[in-house]
């Protein structure tokens, strides 16, 4: 993984490509997302144990999707928790982003789609529900800007923030694969891509070994 566009060093293993998709590519991808979300509607995830609702709504594309509920907690599964149908396929434009930037031969197995209304956020967490951490995680932003925060691999360490815009891509490989990260806020009215506002994040992952 490499990074030629960021003016100052990012943490080891992090790649950042500002404006990797141009506006026409974003519009085309959004159409591909909308047809798939019509088949696999956004659902409201709930925290394990407490059942507290997250403020982000989600769906997935690809063979495996990340879900969570009160009773069974965080996991990957092949079927949508509400419709019981397989997840739609991952749009080619996203497979191409993965091929171009991940440095990983095998394709992503999961594409988590997070939809943030302008008041939504995501607390600091690690992504560790996968059976393998050997592949990077690749993430694309669409719509309004957000304030993304990343820390180290232990809770409570120093963090730094990055404002992400529509079309930006981040990749987290190597040591950064298990870093704490979250989204502190969405900046309303910073993009015209989504007519109702908000932000979409698409996160590509490998889930199983080989
Ligand atoms: C760093 N999503 O879905 S994307 C998530 O904007 C998640 O929706 C946020 O965190 C969002 O789990 C952040 C950036 C991101 C995604 C996955 C990572 C950063 C990561 C995995 C490991 C390290
Ligand atoms: Fe995450």
Beta bridge partners of 185: 147
Residue 4 lies in a domain: no
How far, in Å, CA of 122 to CA of 33, rounded? 21
Ligand nearest to the CA of 178: 1
Count how many Cα atoms sit within 13 Å of the Cα of residue 127 in the half-sphere of its side chain: 28
Residue 6 lies in a domain: no
Query: How distant, in Å, are the alpha carbons of 24, 72, 113 from that of 167?
Result: 10, 34, 15
Q: Is 170 in the pocket of ligand 1 (CB under 6 A)?
A: yes
* Average pLDDT per 10 consecutive residues for the chain, totaling 210 residues: 56 96 98 98 97 98 98 97 98 98 96 98 98 97 98 94 97 97 98 98 96
pLDDT of amino acid 52: 98
Residue 1 lies in a domain: no
* pTM as predicted: 0.95
The residues placing their C-beta within 5 Å of ligand 2, an ion, are 127
Total domains in the chain come to: 1
Residue 7 lies in a domain: no
pLDDT of amino acid 181: 98
Residue 2 lies in a domain: no
Q: Is 206 in the pocket of ligand 1 (CB under 6 A)?
A: no
Residue 190 lies in a domain: yes
Residue 8 lies in a domain: no
Which structural domain range is residue 47 located in? 14-205
Q: Residue 130 Cα, ligand 1 centroid: separation in angstroms?
A: 13
Ligand nearest to the CA of 56: 1
Q: Is 144 in the pocket of ligand 1 (CB under 6 A)?
A: no
Give the CATH number of the domain where residue 47 resides.
2.60.120.590
pLDDT of amino acid 42: 98
Residue 86 lies in a domain: yes
CB neighbours of 37 closer than 8 A, spacing ≥ 6?
A: 59, 113
How far, in Å, CA of 34 to CA of 113, rounded? 11
pLDDT of amino acid 9: 81
pLDDT of amino acid 8: 58
Tell me how long the chain is.
210
């Amino acid at each position: 993984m490499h990074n030629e566009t960021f003016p100052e060093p990012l943490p080891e293993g992090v790649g950042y490509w500002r404006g990797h998709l141009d506006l026409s590519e974003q519009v085309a991808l959004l159409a591909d997302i909308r047809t798939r979300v019509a088949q696999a509607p956004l659902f409201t995830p709930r925290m394990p144990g407490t059942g507290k609702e997250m403020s982000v709504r989600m769906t997935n594309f690809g063979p495996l999707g990340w879900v969570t509920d009160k009773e069974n907690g965080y996991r990957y599964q092949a079927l949508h928790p509400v419709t019981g149908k397989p997840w739609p396929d991952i749009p080619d434009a996203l497979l191409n982003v993965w091929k171009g930037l991940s440095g990983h031969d095998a394709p992503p197995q999961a594409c988590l789609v997070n939809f943030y209304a302008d008041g939504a956020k995501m607390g600091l967490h690690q992504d560790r529900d996968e059976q393998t951490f050997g592949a990077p995680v690749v993430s694309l932003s669409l719509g309004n800007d957000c304030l993304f925060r990343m820390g180290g691999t232990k809770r409570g360490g120093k963090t730094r923030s990055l404002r992400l815009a529509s079309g930006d891509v981040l990749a987290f490989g190597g040591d950064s694969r298990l870093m704490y990260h979250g989204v502190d806020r969405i900046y309303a009215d910073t993009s015209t891509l989504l007519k109702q506002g908000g932000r979409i994040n698409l996160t590509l992952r490998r889930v199983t070994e080989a």
